[in-house]
Chains A and B, each alone.
Chain A
Amino acid sequence: MTVPAFRMAGPPHIAPSGSVPAIMRSVLLALIPGTLAMILIFGWGVLINVLIAVAVALPCEALMLRLRNRPMEPFLQDGSAVVTAVLLALALPPLTPWWMPAVGVALALVLGKHLYGGLGFNPFNPAMVGYAALLVSFPGQMTVWLPPTIGPSGSLGLMDSLHYALSGSLRGGLELDALTQATPLDQIRTGLGLELTVGEIRTEPGFGLLAGAGWQWVNLLFLAGGAWLMHRRVIAWQIPMGVLLGLAVPALVFWTANPDQYAPPLLHLLSGGAMLAAFFIATDPVSAATTPRGRFCFGVGIGVLTWVIRTWGGYPDGIAFGVLLMNMAVPLIDRYTRPRIHGRGKPGPGTGERS
């Protein structure tokens, strides 16, 4: 018998179970129901934003990898740039000129990701870096939303949307103002400023049974996608539950105390980007806390900050700032929430620091 030549390798001698591309693929799959709902309700503009963002993301990623002398293939195929692009695109208003998603994604990947060292090293959520940069630079365009419609009647057709995305103006000399409508969160802010009660504001058009018409379905479908990710154990429960509790509990307390001045918890949970943020944005592992308790604290922080900004802040939705602020707190959170090691007493913050 011939003596076979055996290869040497260190343990464990077992095929690893997951991979980064597989995680990213699952996230993209879980985004599909909510995204389809957004296209259906807010029109083709949503799809156009997603496609532009992805089309810009890949060359950006490639360029940065080339500049940083990193291997192209594994990193272009990891899917992380696509996820960032899709998340940013879904956060943008449905009707935007093409350069908005383009600039946003470029900022997200160049500033938010690669200048910090690329995949795994960015302290801030890249999609939210891009979003926040757009929000503070172009507040006008970033707060203009189309009214929710189901079916082709109300919203713009494919060609009209494409025309607007490429030229920045509508066909047939239509003014944008004639089409757009404030988001429910915006309506509440404005209404409260006019000394209306929440109950009165909710009788205005644009509100549905649970929250904003249309918005409620988008949020419920993102919730469904997120639940599937949790079930598949792609994401842990701590961050989404933390975000939702952090948003719902203060809302519940203030709404119970004064239902005229404060929006009910359900409206908060099903408005704006709440579910998208809780299950898809805040759960970006790179920029989130990693200890089990830390993840929960991180989520709660985002939820509370979002509620505070929505209620008293200057922006209609506070998710991007909530996420970015909590990103800054991650090293601290991780340090103080270390689990107790088996067979040891309570943990201290120790001296272990990320070097």
Chain B
Amino acid sequence: MITRLFSFPGGLRLPDHTAPSTGRVLVRAPLPERLIVPLLQHRGDPCEPAVTAGERVRRGSLVGRATGETPPVHAPTSGRVLSVEPCPVPHPAGLRVPAVILEADGEDVWSEDLPPPWQDWETVSPEHLRQRVHEAGVVGLGGAGFPTATKLRAGAKPGIHTLIINGVECEPWISCDQMLMLSRPQDVIEGARILARATGATRLILALEEGRTACLDALRRAMDQGPGITLELAAVPARYPAGGERQLIQTLTGREVPSANLPPDMGFLCQNVATAAAARDAVVLGRPLTSRVVTVTGNAVAAPQNLEARIGTPMHTLIEAAGGYCGTPERLVMGGPMMGFALDSDRLPITKTSNCLLVGDGALFPAEAPAMPCIRCGACAEVCPVRLLPQELYWHARSERPEPARDLGLLDCIDCGACAVVCPSRIPLSQYFRYAKSELQATDRAHVQAEQARRRYLLRQDRLTREQQAQEERRRRKKAALRQPATNRSPDPKAARQAAIQAAVERAKRKKAGAGGDGNDPA
């Protein structure tokens, strides 16, 4: 089926660079002896460790427990847990998170408590499918790492009409989705249909980049098989950032998702092709997410290729599998060159969101030239897919108070980096914007916290006043009570003393009986 295409503003044609890594077939990466499985591989909070040092696990055993929306983490192979301790993970700020260190036993056997395979998933309720995806630890494999089940559930409420399976790898060098579609087209399509059932979508579009003819052919052959709703294939122009969620929705449907809303609010849901394949494995095979396809490429890698790697595999294992380094590797980037981040070590593990390892020399990654002043040429505004004016945002982003940048739409910036690439003055615009955005978000958080504190303070004041009033009320009553008996009391003080003695005798009696004084007696 031909899908009518629309266009998004701005954008940038970038060199493809996927030829080196797509020239070799997708193979399994070797199983490392030691795996580092972080308990935070998704947006949100880390999960609770479900194992302790010394415990034996099998592939697919739970090692990180799901809590609420937090997806679980599973053992990528069978072996013994060496320890559970904070480890550095691939993260732009060099974060350390709790991780399960696993010693592989080499047997690589699947766990026996896997959930039952559901080959007849069309008869399973959408709620059960979503639950299965959650329990399998599936997160957005395109790089964002958003828990897939959360996204599916969020979509179920307003009602999803269009599910978009995103196979548009608009960044140069990355080819993991392409190779996955090429080698497992049926699984991708079945996964897409499972996700469509899980969301109730009535329109299902699989989008990939123009010119990926081999992929397109493989998908075409596979799309008529299997149960589920019809699938539309759309080949979108290779213009960065065509694979951005909002850009892709606009390209495929012509609709803009309002800035204040998320795609599900408008009935759209986007899922990556690898996420669809992982959801398929979870539902049809009952297998949790324990591996993913990683592109290992760059001009400092001897044999660029795509590898199916276990989560937790140290990066250097993959680079060795891809022929090792060649030349003088200078920079290691996880993700693509546009939005990926540099890492200082290849000893870090692959996580669920590691789509690409890009290693280049000084020619590929030239040292940052000193920035010249902005000459207001507007090249940045021409490529901005959000139609922002980076040249104006820049003035505020570099100032101490980035607040005016909010009015100019800074928080709508999608971090695509197109402005920085075209800037003739070599101003690191996206770095300025990321920093200013975090400042604005911090201000917002501070505002929210201040508001909460204010409300707490007011409530406390209220409570104190009420308590004080109640206390006064009590005191007043007590006073009144004391005054009243004084008028009613018999004028004979002897009788009063008699009564007091009588009371004391009774108290003593009760104490003797073991009932204990309750201290409340009026003395």
Contact = CB atoms under 8 A, between A and B. Distances in A.
Contact of A3 (B342, B345, B365): B345
B35 to A, nearest CB: 19
B421 A17 contact: yes
A341 interface: yes
A23 B387 contact: no
Contact of A7 (B331, B404, B424): B331
Interface residues on B, range: 35 or more
B422 interface: yes
A353 B373 contact: no
A314 interface: no
Contact of B365 (A13, A118, A291, A338): A13
Nearest to B259: A343
Given A7-B342, A12-B339, A290-B381, A343 B258 contact: yes
Given A3-B346, A4-B329, A119-B373, A353 B404 contact: yes
Interface string B363-379: 01110111011111111
Interface string B399-442: 10000110111001000010011111110101100100000000
Contacts of A344: 258-259, 409, 412
B381 A11 contact: no
Contact of B330 (A6, A15, A353): A6
Interface in B310-329: 316, 320, 324-325, 328-329
Given A285-B378, A340-B387, A14 B172 contact: yes
Contacts, number: 192
A341 B358 contact: no
Please report whether the interface of chain B is mostly helix, strand, loop or mixed according to DSSP. loop
Interface residues on A, range: 35 or more
Contacts of A5: 344
Nearest to B426: A16
A176 B374 CA distance: 45
Please report whether the interface of chain A is mostly helix, strand, loop or mixed according to DSSP. loop
B283 interface: no
A340 to B, nearest CB: 6
Contact of A16 (B250, B345, B395, B422): B422
A69 interface: no
A294 B4 CA distance: 32
B341 A11 contact: yes
A8 B258 contact: no
B396 interface: yes
B386 interface: yes
Contact of B373 (A7, A12, A118, A236): A118
A350 interface: yes
A22 interface: yes
A12 B420 contact: yes
Contact of A290 (B358, B370, B376, B423): B376
Nearest to A13: B337
Given A11-B340, A13-B358, A342 B259 contact: yes
Given A6-B329, A12-B337, A341 B388 contact: yes
Contacts of B337: 11-14
Given A14-B172, A288-B376, 4 more contacts: A4-B328, A13-B358, A20-B375, A23-B424
5 contacts: A3-B316, A7-B331, A14-B338, A286-B376, A291-B389
